[in-house]
């Protein structure tokens, strides 16, 4: 990080900025009252008490002897040629570890528990064999349950790509979107239903969705569903499934509560674990000690540096994220904000503009910290501390993907 990076002492990185950046920040002092900062306030932030040493770790080069060597190529799998063509059109040749190990068992009809870090290719691991299965037996249907709207939307987009030209259809059932439109789509008897627990439960209670006709289920990001308080909804949904089914269960972590759900859902499952470490080895992790400076100014001086090409900034509250986004926009940055006060259309537009590099800074609450597949994020900045270390892991998992090096910075008072 040119201009200010230097060895860490006492696990504290005090930010020393180039003179021109400091001058640039000072030019804003007349426009932005430092005694009443806009956006987030470090004094009123109530940041969690954490061991900040957890947020400091240098990226490591992955040694060649530890590189995973898959047993298959996508061309090897006994799946329909049209699906293989769709996979090839997406540029996929070599399966990731979870894909390489899970797809053969899923094609055999086995229940599978997949334990893997975010960004490991879980979506393709379950979609490819299920699309193949439904293509050859269209009397079957698939329900995919995921914790967030964004992840559900992403899965739906992946489905459409892998199922191209197969005359298979999906229904996306998520909160924040028109439920009457979703009910109309369900009446067309789609092969795949992809949704969030609360909306799916609502549709069942309205008698617009009958899970007894679904003989395939995927629970994705189960640990996140537990964190978000969806355990009752998930148990409700499972209770409406037929006893004869194929069940897929994906989670980055396993705890006793999750184990209980596994036992109620799965029969003689194959467990596949490709989780090797808590955080990505190729993510440079550091902290920035604020030392009484205004956080928005520190962030400003980072974002104007050349290497900050595509930056995801995490804040604690939706109100704070929105205010900070407005301030950065006034300062001339191309930004978008993602939080639960946004309509579904606004959230999709924010994500799309960030993915397409129409904006280079996306500010978000933890609604965006799980499951989103965003290419080439150069930096994740924890503007506010996460509530716990697990949330931290999911936040910084947005960078350093696809074996590229990433950087994660955490602001501390």
User: In this predicted model, what pLDDT tens digit does every residue of 364-402 receive, in sequence order?
Assistant: 998 765 556 788 999 999 999 988 887 888 788 888 876
pLDDT of residue 366: 84
pLDDT of residue 18: 41
Q: Give the CATH number for residue 131.
A: 3.40.50.300
pTM for this structure?
0.68
**Whether 31 and 78 share a structural domain:** no
Containing 88, the helix (H) or strand (E) segment is helix 81-89
**Which of 273, 290, 322 is a domain's end point?**
273
Q: In what order do the strands lie in the sheet with 192-195?
A: 170-173, 192-195, 142-145, 216-219, 246-251, 112-115, 270-273
**Whether 52 and 73 share a structural domain:** no
Annotate 17-31 with DSSP letters as a single string.
--HHHHHHHHTTTTT
pLDDT of residue 26: 35
- Low-confidence stretches of the chain (pLDDT < 50) are 1-45, 62-65
**Whether 55 and 94 share a structural domain:** no
Give CA–CA dist 57/368, Å, rounded. 23
Give CA–CA dist 205/303, Å, rounded. 48
φ, ψ for residue 53 (rounded to 5)? -65, -20
pLDDT of residue 394: 79
pLDDT of residue 371: 55
pLDDT of residue 39: 36
**Whether 135 and 246 share a structural domain:** yes
Q: Where in the sequence is the domain holding 267, given as residue range(s)?
A: 69-273
Give CA–CA dist 162/26, Å, rounded. 52
**Whether 199 and 300 share a structural domain:** no
Q: Count up the domains in the chain and report the number.
A: 2
CA angle 146, 133, 231 (to 5 degrees): 20
Q: Is residue 13 part of a domain?
A: no
Containing 348, the helix (H) or strand (E) segment is helix 344-355
């Amino acid at each position: 990080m040119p201009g200010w990076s230097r060895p860490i002492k006492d696990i504290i990185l005090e930010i020393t900025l180039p003179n021109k950046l400091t001058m640039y920040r000072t030019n804003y002092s007349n426009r932005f009252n430092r005694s009443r900062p806009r956006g987030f306030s470090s004094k009123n932030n109530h940041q969690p008490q954490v061991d900040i040493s957890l947020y400091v770790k240098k990226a490591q080069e992955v040694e060649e002897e530890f590189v995973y060597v898959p047993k298959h190529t996508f061309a090897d799998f006994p799946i329909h040629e049209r699906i293989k063509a769709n996979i090839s059109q997406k540029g996929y040749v070599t399966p990731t570890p979870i894909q390489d190990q899970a797809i053969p068992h899923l094609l055999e009809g086995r229940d599978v528990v997949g334990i893997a870090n975010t960004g490991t290719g879980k979506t393709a691991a379950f979609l490819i064999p299920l699309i193949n299965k439904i293509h050859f037996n269209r009397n079957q249907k698939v329900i995919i349950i995921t914790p967030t709207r964004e992840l559900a939307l992403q899965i739906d987009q992946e489905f459409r790509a892998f199922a191209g030209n197969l005359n298979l259809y999906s229904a996306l059932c998520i909160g924040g979107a028109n439920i009457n439109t979703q009910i109309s789509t369900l009446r067309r008897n789609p092969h795949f239903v992809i949704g969030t627990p609360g909306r799916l439960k609502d549709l069942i209670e309205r008698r617009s969705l009958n899970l007894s006709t679904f003989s395939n289920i995927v629970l994705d990001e189960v640990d996140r569903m537990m964190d978000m308080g969806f355990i009752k909804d998930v148990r409700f949904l499972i209770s409406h499934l037929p006893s004869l089914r194929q069940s897929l269960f994906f989670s980055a972590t396993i705890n006793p509560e999750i184990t209980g759900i596994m036992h109620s859902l799965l029969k003689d499952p194959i467990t596949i674990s490709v989780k090797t470490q808590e955080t990505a080895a190729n993510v440079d992790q550091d902290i920035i000690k604020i030392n009484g400076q205004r956080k928005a100014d520190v962030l400003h001086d980072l974002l104007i540096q050349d290497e900050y090409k595509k930056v995801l900034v995490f804040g604690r509250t939706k109100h704070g994220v929105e205010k900070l986004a407005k301030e950065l926009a006034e300062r001339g940055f191309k930004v978008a904000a993602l939080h639960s006060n946004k309509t579904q259309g606004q959230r999709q537009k924010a994500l799309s503009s960030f993915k397409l590099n129409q904006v280079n800074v996306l500010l978000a609450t933890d609604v965006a910290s799980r499951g989103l597949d965003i290419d080439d994020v150069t930096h994740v900045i924890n503007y506010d501390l996460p509530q716990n270390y697990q949330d931290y892991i999911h936040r910084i998992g947005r960078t350093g993907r696809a074996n590229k090096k990433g950087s994660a910075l955490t602001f501390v008072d």
